[in-house]
Structure formats: C-alpha cells, structure tokens
Structure 1
Amino acid sequence: MSQKACVLVVDDDADMLRLLSIRLTAAGYRVVGVSSAEAALSQLAVALPQLVISDVQLPGMDGLALFAAIRARHPVLPVILLTAHGTIPDAVEATSRGVYTYLTKPFDGKALLETIARALVLSATAPVDEPVAEAWRADIVSRSSAMAEVLAETRLVAASDASVLIRGESGAGKELLAQAIHRASPRAARPFVAVNCSAIPEALLESELFGHVKGAFTGAVANRRGLFQEAAGGTLFLDEIGDMPLPLQVKLLRVLQERQVRPVGAQQSVPVDVRILSATHRDLEAAMAGGEFREDLYYRLNVVTLTLPTLAQRREDIPLLAQHFLDRLATKYGKKLNGFASDAMSALATAAWPGNVRQLHNVVEQVCALTTTPLIPLALVQRALRVPTVEVLTYAEARQRFEHEYLVNLLKLTDGHVADAARLADRNRTEFYRLLQKHGLTPGLFRGESLPGEAPDLPVAL
C-alpha cells in the first residue's frame, strides 16, 4: 500500500486528534482530522480517503452511526473504531456489521500502524480519485443502500473468475450489472458478449453459442465462430438462462467442465477461455424440482449469486434515474428540458413500477417525446403511466406471452387432445409436449365438461 494513502481521523478530543495526526503523518500517511461525525460526512463528500478512524463516543452522531452512514454511501471504505472500555460491546457488534476492526484506548502506537497497514492492504478500498475508481459502474445510476450493498459485493466478486448468477425481475438491470462485473474484472480489456437464451429459437441456439462448420445443416454455407469463441479471453453473459432447453443445458455443462466447445458438425473441439455470467428472472430451484433445469448446471453457474432489488425496493433512486434518462433523451429528441414538475416527480416516485428500470426509461422517453415545455408536467407523466403493460414488454417476454395464449387456445379448441393440437400447430407431438411443459400447461385440464375455462396463467414478470 502506498505511503501516500489518505486517512480521515474523527475524534472530539483535540489532544487525541493531534496525537493521531502526528503519528500517522510520521508514518507517511496523509491525514485529515475532524472533530465530529457530521464534519466527517462533509469531508467525505469533498474527497474520499482510503481509511476512516473514528472514536465511538462523539458529540451528536456517534461513531457507530457514522459507520452506518459511511457503509450506506461507500460500502467498501474500511472503518476502524477507537473505543473506551465501556463501549467495547458496541464495537464488537459493529465488526459483525462490517467495521474492519476496533482498538481499545489506550492503544499501542505500533499496533495502530500495523492495523492500519493491514486494513489498507486487505480491504477493497475506493481510491481517492473516486470518479476514476467508479468508472466500472458508471452506467448504474444509484444512491440507495440496497444497490450499494449489491455493488459492494459486485466489486469484490469481479476480481475473481468465479461464475456469477444474477437474479432479479425483468427490467431490473441484470445486463448492466453483468457489464459492470466485466469492466471491474481482470478481463475488462477483452470482449463482453451477451446472448438472450429465450430470444433465439432452440434450433439455432446451439450454433449461436458454439458455432458451426460449413455444411453442418441447410444454410451453413461457411464456417462460423460461436459466441464462446467471440468472447475469448473475456466474458460471456447468458441472459434468461432459465429458458435454455434441456438438451442444450447438457452441452453447456460439458463446455463448462471441459473448457472446450465443439462447433455443430465439427469433429474436433476447440479450447475456450471465458468467464460465464448468467441471469434469470425465473425461480431456478422450482425449475429444478420440475425437471426443467439441470441441478449440476445450476451449481456450476451459481458459484456466486447477486440479487438485484426491484425499482420499488430502491425508490430513492427514482428521481436520480428519471433525471438521468431525461438528460440523455433530451439530446436524442433535440429538446431543452429542465426536469420534472414537483407533482410529476412525486407521481414517478410513488408509482408501482412492475417493469422496473426499463419501464421507467420507457415512461421518461414517452414524456420527453411529447412534452412542449421545458418542465415535464404531471399530466404527461400520468398519461405515460397508464400505457398498457405490453408497452414495457421485451421481445422475449411478448413472445413468451403469445406462445402461452396460443397454446391455451389450441387446447381449448381440441378439448385437450395433444395430437390434434400439434397437427393444427404444424408441430410434431414431441416438440408440442415440450412447449406445453415449458409453459406449465396440462392437456387434461382442457378435457370434458368440467374444464375451468382456461388453464391458469403462468406469472409473467414485466
């Protein structure tokens, strides 16, 4: 650790503050000393140190409350607490919540310096130049504690090569988080390749992932590299992994185990070096129980899990995101826009947001396109929020919903006779049964006088 590391010291005892400053300066650290938690937070807003040392007993906000505030705003910034005998239990409890360690007064100067050195070496600290350090997550606009926790875990996970499974509702920003992991990883200079497993027809997905050789199938007029090879040395992001067909799950597992891919029609395998990130809005545990997702593949992909909060769980981010989207879209539409009227912003902040951040972006784009005033009025926001939910569906989600409704109507028409339904759909029975299984539809429910009108709808996350 560089001897120019900056340490923020917080103590209301002027003599102790001076003593600590002298000792740390002599050891080669740059020291900023303040006498209250409030002053410390103000200093953090100006420039971020690499370590905070704070007394527990402070006037006004105490050291434990200061730590909580630091944790919410700068989750990876290490904090050392200085405690008198009476506050040791509080300090011990604080270490379980993320405080690096605590030192009991009076403390040995050598022990203090050793503790500081270990904290600076072992902790994933935010450097003094925060804008540069935060470039890896620049596309993720947030100030909420819920996202701060996710991003702190993300930064730590990114340094490894472990496979990561990102969970979250549709529209929550799973691909953005995957890109952030890639940018913060040692593979950042190599390609980031994303593929939506539910958006590519099953017959083409294998070729898309693993490539093919000339003549492997009708239309294969030349050799083609798959996405695994395109991502060589970098990161491959498998979005909606829960929708991958079972036969392809077997082949993906083999690739992950052997670190080799065999293009469709090829005789030889090709070595690949990629990091796998995957994402889903499905309950994979339920899918495994239902035989729709392989358990061995699940554990291979799910070395580390990151769970994105819904937009409703990070409401403090809504004004920030809305203004961010408005600034970008104003340029796109060539308009000079100043922001949202207060009642319009209030409507955004209290809306349900079933489509999460993607839906918020769509709402802001609509009001941006339609507004004739620099300040977005409440009426336009209310109008955009009443847009039918299909407006916030992705292509994959719209296709999923169409398939489900189409199958339901066929089963109604044929009284649940699969052979007849498959014939009308121009599909063989095996493929048709696979579609029914994918959508959780039981043909027997559509037979006889007592059919319930329609099969129960599967939940479709928006």
Structure 2
Amino acid sequence: MPASNKPSSGAAATAQQRILVVDDDADMLRLLSLRLKGAGYEVIAVGSAEAALAQLDMARPQLVLSDVRLPGKDGLALFDEVRERHPSLPVILLTAHGTIPDAVEATSRGVFTYLTKPYDGKDLLEKIGQALALSAPVAAQAHANEAWRAEIVSRSNRMTELLAEAYMVAQSDASVLLLGDSGAGKELLAQAIHRASPRAAKPFVAVNCGAIPEALLESELFGHVKGAFTDATSNHKGLFQAAEGGTLLLDEIGDMPPALQVKLLRVLQERAVRPVGSSQSTPINVRIISATHRDLEAAMAAAQFREDLYYRLNVVTLALPPLAERREDIPLLANHFLDRLARKYDKRLSGFAPEALKALTTAAWPGNVRQLFNVVEQVCALSTTPLVPLTLVQRALRIPSAQVLSFADARQRFEREYLVGLLKMTDGNVADAARLAQRNRTEFYRLLQKHALTPGHFKSDAGPDEGAGDDVADERQE
C-alpha cells in the first residue's frame, strides 16, 4: 500500500480502532477492507445493513463506513438505527452521484461526512482519521471525570459504552428516553446525565408517572392556583417549575394517562406550563428525560401512547441492559453495597464467602440491581460472621438450602427404594415381587441388576447360598 494512503501520525490507527464496512458490491468491499487493513485498522466487512446491525453490538466498532445503496435497508436507514443505538458512533457514507442529495441531507442529521464514488483513497483515510480523532476525546473525557457517574458501579463493556454515549448526550439539551427493566438503574443514569450536563448546578426533579393518581398528576406536574379545586387553598408550583433551569425525569412515562399525554405534549411544544385553574401560561426552561420499562411502540400500536409525544420525547434513546446481561458487574456491585450497608448497620463485614459470591453471580435477578441491593441488605442485617455465608445468600434469594435432585436422579432414587420395599415385603421372592409390580420376571430381573440388588439378601432366615438357589429355582419355573 502506498505510503500516501496511510493516515497521518496525528490520526494513526491503533489495534483497538475497529471499522465496520458495509457494501453489497463484493469487489468494493474487498478493496475497502484491504485499504483499511493496510492502514492499520481492524475491519469487519458485511454485505448488508441487516448484517451490519447484527454485528454492531458484538463487534463494537469505533466507526461505520457504509454505501448508501444497499439491498433491503439502505445506508440512510442503517445510519438512523446506528444513531438510535449508539449516538456517539461516527458514520461515513459512500455515495454515487445519484444519491448525493440524500447524503447531504444525512449530514444535517448527524452523518459525519460522505464521499462520492469513485472515492480518493487518501481522502477516505483522512476523513476516517478525523472522525476517530473527534469521537475519541468524548469517551476519554467521560472516563477522566468519574464524578458525574460515581453512583453507577460497573466495569462491563456494555455499560462502559452506554456511559460514554450518556456523557456525550449530556452535553446537549436533547430529550432522552431511557429504556430498561424495572430496577435496572434508569433513575441513576438520569441523575448522572444531569450531573454531566451544563444544568448540573440547577435542580434535578424526578416524578413517577405511574405512582401518582391521575386526578393529582396534572396538579403535581403543572401546579395549580388557589381555588382551582376543593383542596386548593393556596397557589402551588408544579414539578416543571420546581425543575426550572435543570432536569425533570418523567419516570414510567408509559403509564401516563392518555388525557394527560395531550397536555404534556402541549407543554413540550410551547415550552410553557399553565397551572390548573389559571388562564396564564408560565415559560419554562427544563431538560426532559423520560424513562419506562414498557414497550412504547407496542403501546402506540394499541393506541395507549401518543405517537407525536413519543417522537417528542425520543430524540435520543439509551437502553440499560438487565443485570443478567452484565454478570461481571455483580461481584463489584455486591461488595460495593455490602461496604455501604455494613457502615449503616455498624457491622464488620469483609466480603462474601466464595460459594456465596458464586450464588449471587449465577442467580437469575429478575429485579435487577434493585433486587441485588435488597438481597445484600438482608444478608448484611443477618450476618454474624465477617464473611457472608452461602446459607444467608440462599435464604435472601429464596433458594432452598437442602439438596434439590434433578428429575432423573429423583426417579432413580424412587425406583431403587420401591424395589427394596417390594423385596422386603416378599421376603426376597422375585416371582411375588414381580407380580406385585405388575412386571414380568425378566424385566424385573433387569431392574434389580440395574440397581445392583440381590434378592437373596432380603430373605429373613436363609443364608446366601440358599437364597441364591431359590432365585435359580424361581427362574426355572418361569
């Protein structure tokens, strides 16, 4: 590869810089791969947008380079999905002259740049180097200043990537939709985004839209004036005004009543609230973060959630993985919680016994991080030894401490005990035992052999030789 095609020293590739290349033209894909590998990049090459999306989470590229014209989803649709999943991941598009207008529009939506075919190799490598250089400092800055995410304890790759994206999103004022199961830590992530944002010095206010009765939720959000309803004895500022200049978290937004969704949409459009009973609107300056464990797209299809509100809230989506998908974080979180709770309960606890930590790491965790905290709090309160034992963890997880046999083992045990009982009952007489079991003698003998049982040993008044003789006689009578 000519030296001129290699990136400059300021944008030199490293072994960690991985590029996902997407092109349905096999020859072009091979040429791009060779050029990028020659420049020192690691390359993941695929022939469609669908294949690229399948590789996105596994390959964890630092940049996506895609043709615009692709079979199935095109390069622009691919960019939209990449932006939704990984807002900080730069995308460069390769376009023919016929699709230049589309590519120009895409740059206004966030595509790093586009290059026309036939592209110049040196120009391509320079653009890639620039994109990587611009995106790298954001991730580095996110890791350099850990204070904003101090409450989020993690070392998993998925959380590292998520937090880097959250830090980048925090620098803007875009509305964010947090998706994740209950207990996964959506409110903690919302607080972290607030602390990393220019609004950090202003209030962070959270409201659970599913926990407040519908009749009260409007007043809680927007406020009310004196006399607006029976109990309104004075003016009351709502949570939007309480969060002025800062961030408002609308938790469990999927549970918001449809009638209130209309009023929330009006507030977001007008950037002003009208307290209940008032004829005047008050301007607001609030950053909105919403969160839900529900599938809002399914809710929209069922006419339970407004589509226009969804797109107003969902400028950027961040999805928190469940605890079961980041098990490497479980020991870290468990010991972090134990240290904090040991101080709360004034106990000297040094950690978990190895088998106890293994039980925590392999548990199902349907309640996610919240459930883990509750389990650790219970074992902390009950522990009487420096190392938390397995029995306490099993109790907190509601796992029986007694041995639990598999179905096959339980069946084997029952079968042997049943045969022993029959032989004792019949004084070792195989014919009688087989008759009671409703099995023929040949099958019954096979069962005895399977469980290493000798009928003669069950005769109450016969020696081993006599018992053996009876067995033979019984067999001859068959």
Name the TM-score, length of structure 2 as normaliser.
0.60
CA RMSD of aligned residues (A): 3.3
The Cα offsets for residues 330-373 of structure 1, whole Å up to 9 and x where unpaired, read as 00000111000000000000000000000000000000000000
Q: Kindly tell me: are residues 85 and 229 of structure 1, through their superposed partners in 2, closer, same or farther at Cα, counting changes over 3 Å? A: closer
1:179 aligns with 2:129: no
- The count of aligned residue pairs is 313
In 2, distance between residues paired with 1:86 and 1:275?
41
1:351 aligns with 2:301: no
Partner of 1:88: 38
The Cα offsets for residues 91-149 of structure 1, whole Å up to 9 and x where unpaired, read as 262699544699xxxx99xx999998875555443558955x12111111111112122
In 2, distance between residues paired with 1:246 and 1:210?
16
1:90 Cα deviation from its structure 2 partner: 7.4
Partner of 1:136: 148
Give the conservation status (yes or no) of the 8 Å contact 2:139–2:164: no
1:301 aligns with 2:251: no
One of 280, 288, 313 as aligned partner of 1:268: 280
Structure 1 stretches of 4+ moved >2 Å = 51-54, 83-102, 111-131
Partner of 2:378: 366
- Matched AA of 1:125: V
Partner of 2:353: 341
Q: Kindly tell me: are residues 67 and 222 of structure 1, through their superposed partners in 2, closer, same or farther at Cα, counting changes over 3 Å? A: same
Aligned pairs for 1:19-58 within 5 A: 54=14
In 1, distance between residues paired with 2:351 and 2:17?
34
Aligned pairs for 1:13-412 within 5 A: 54=14, 63=15, 66-67=16-17, 87-88=37-38, 91=41, 93=43, 98-99=61-62, 120-121=133-134, 123-126=136-139, 130=143, 133-386=145-398
Partner of 1:33: none
Give the conservation status (yes or no) of the 8 Å contact 2:177–2:313: yes
The residue matched to 1:279 in structure 2 has which SS? Answer: strand
In 1, distance between residues paired with 2:256 and 2:281?
22
Give the conservation status (yes or no) of the 8 Å contact 1:367–1:376: yes
Q: Kindly tell me: are residues 128 and 216 of structure 1, through their superposed partners in 2, closer, same or farther at Cα, counting changes over 3 Å? A: closer
The residue matched to 1:238 in structure 2 has which SS? Answer: strand
In 1, distance between residues paired with 2:259 and 2:191?
28
Q: Kindly tell me: are residues 52 and 387 of structure 1, through their superposed partners in 2, closer, same or farther at Cα, counting changes over 3 Å? A: farther
- Matched AA of 2:216: L
- Matched AA of 1:93: V
The Cα offsets for residues 188-240 of structure 1, whole Å up to 9 and x where unpaired, read as 11111000001111110000000011111111111111000010111100000
Q: Kindly tell me: are residues 239 and 99 of structure 1, through their superposed partners in 2, closer, same or farther at Cα, counting changes over 3 Å? A: closer
The residue matched to 2:291 in structure 1 has which SS? Answer: strand
Name the TM-score, length of structure 1 as normaliser.
0.62
Give the conservation status (yes or no) of the 8 Å contact 2:13–2:39: no
1:303 Cα deviation from its structure 2 partner: 1.0
Q: Kindly tell me: are residues 346 and 52 of structure 1, through their superposed partners in 2, closer, same or farther at Cα, counting changes over 3 Å? A: farther
The Cα offsets for residues 224-280 of structure 1, whole Å up to 9 and x where unpaired, read as 110000101111000000110111000000000000100011110000010110011
The residue matched to 1:141 in structure 2 has which SS? Answer: coil
Is there any run of 5+ residues in structure 1 with no aligned partner, and where?
A: 1-19, 28-50, 55-62, 69-82, 389-462
In 2, distance between residues paired with 1:92 and 1:67?
6
In 1, distance between residues paired with 2:287 and 2:208?
16
The residue matched to 1:125 in structure 2 has which SS? Answer: helix
Further displaced range: 350-359 or 153-162: 153-162
Q: Kindly tell me: are residues 385 and 214 of structure 1, through their superposed partners in 2, closer, same or farther at Cα, counting changes over 3 Å? A: same
1:165 Cα deviation from its structure 2 partner: 0.7
Partner of 1:9: none
In 2, distance between residues paired with 1:352 and 1:295?
34
Q: Kindly tell me: are residues 293 and 387 of structure 1, through their superposed partners in 2, closer, same or farther at Cα, counting changes over 3 Å? A: farther
The residue matched to 1:93 in structure 2 has which SS? Answer: strand
Give the conservation status (yes or no) of the 8 Å contact 1:144–1:316: yes
Q: Kindly tell me: are residues 254 and 336 of structure 1, through their superposed partners in 2, closer, same or farther at Cα, counting changes over 3 Å? A: same
The Cα offsets for residues 63-112 of structure 1, whole Å up to 9 and x where unpaired, read as 2xx457xxxxxxxxxxxxxx99793387262699544699xxxx99xx99
Give the conservation status (yes or no) of the 8 Å contact 1:124–1:156: no
Q: Kindly tell me: are residues 213 and 305 of structure 1, through their superposed partners in 2, closer, same or farther at Cα, counting changes over 3 Å? A: same
The residue matched to 2:254 in structure 1 has which SS? Answer: helix
Q: Kindly tell me: are residues 177 and 327 of structure 1, through their superposed partners in 2, closer, same or farther at Cα, counting changes over 3 Å? A: same
In 2, distance between residues paired with 1:335 and 1:294?
51
Is there any run of 5+ residues in structure 2 with no aligned partner, and where?
A: 1-6, 19-32, 46-51, 53-59, 66-120, 401-478
The residue matched to 2:43 in structure 1 has which SS? Answer: helix
The Cα offsets for residues 375-405 of structure 1, whole Å up to 9 and x where unpaired, read as 00000000000189xxxxxxxxxxxxxxxxx
In 2, distance between residues paired with 1:310 and 1:243?
21
Partner of 1:412: none
- Matched AA of 2:273: V
Identity of aligned residues (%): 66
